Chains A and B, each alone.
Chain A
Amino acid sequence: MAERPEDLNLPNAVITRIIKEALPDGVNISKEARSAISRAASVFVLYATSCANNFAMKGKRKTLNASDVLSAMEEMEFQRFVTPLKEALEAYRREQKGKKEASEQKKKDKDKKADSEEQDKSREEDDEDEERLDEEEQNEEEELDN
């Protein structure tokens, strides 16, 4: 494995924030406790991944998906997480849908703009042709005068 030991750890700042938000105000967390929780979180990820992978293999799939993770939570006796996770999944899917529609809309606008630019360009060319014709006519008139 090419990972260095620190890569398997989660950032201290984020872990600390999550802990502080979960505990009542003013409660201190010893450095040792914080470090222990961080390690526990990494172990949790490994355990959850392994569990979820079992479900994927049962389903003869090579890619872990959302339902594998949810099944893993139940298996690990973390049923309490299932509902908030399902809500998070819904929110994530809505957001992805929104992003997709936004980028499709942008693409449509871009295409529309390109089309109208082409129309403007051909109109300009027509104008230029007309100007030239006018000039030529003027020149002819001048010549005649001369």
Chain B
Amino acid sequence: MADVAVGKDKCGEQRLVSLPLSRIRVIMKSSPEVSSINQEALVLTAKATELFVQYLATCSYRHGNGKAKKALTYSDLASTAEDSETLQFLADILPKKILASKYLKMLKEKREEEEEENDDESDIGEVLA
């Protein structure tokens, strides 16, 4: 990949950015209203994404009991996304997992509620008529 990282030294010194700029650019361009992206904006977005990954990982790891944990799991991430205001934009893509049986129960309850409402409306209709 031609533009893998900015600041890649032959002596292998710390790169400015590790994420591939070409891929970041593809994601950015997939946004409909964007026409062009200046190179500096590309580099900063890549760097910001790295900072974001670090932030999400550490936040999720620490979230909850504050005890030293052995592993970072999906549910840590989902809880963090739900509880953090800043990470609200992730709530849809990191939904909390529930048991299928629980979900089916929820669906059933919702359907029952809707049926009740319809019944109420038809009652009102009769009264007016």
Contacts and interface: CB of A to CB of B under 8 A. Distances in A.
B40 A66 contact: yes
A63 B44 contact: no
Given A53-B34, A64-B41, A66-B44, A92 B51 contact: no
Contact of A37 (B26, B41, B56): B56
Contact of B34 (A9, A27, A32, A49): A49
Interface residues of A, number: 62
Contacts of B48: 44, 48, 69, 73, 78, 81, 85
A77 B86 contact: yes
- Dominant SS among interface residues on chain B: helix
B90 A43 contact: yes
A85 B49 contact: no
Given A19-B53, A95-B6, A63 B27 contact: no
Interface in B1-36: 6-7, 16-20, 23-24, 26-28, 30-31, 33-36
A7 B50 contact: no
A28 interface: yes
Interface string A34-75: 001101111111111110110001000011111011100100
Interface of B: 6-7, 16-20, 23-24, 26-28, 30-31, 33-38, 40-41, 43-45, 47-58, 60-61, 68-74, 76-78, 81, 85-86, 89-90, 93-94
7 contacts: A14-B20, A22-B53, A22-B58, A64-B38, A66-B38, A66-B41, A95-B7
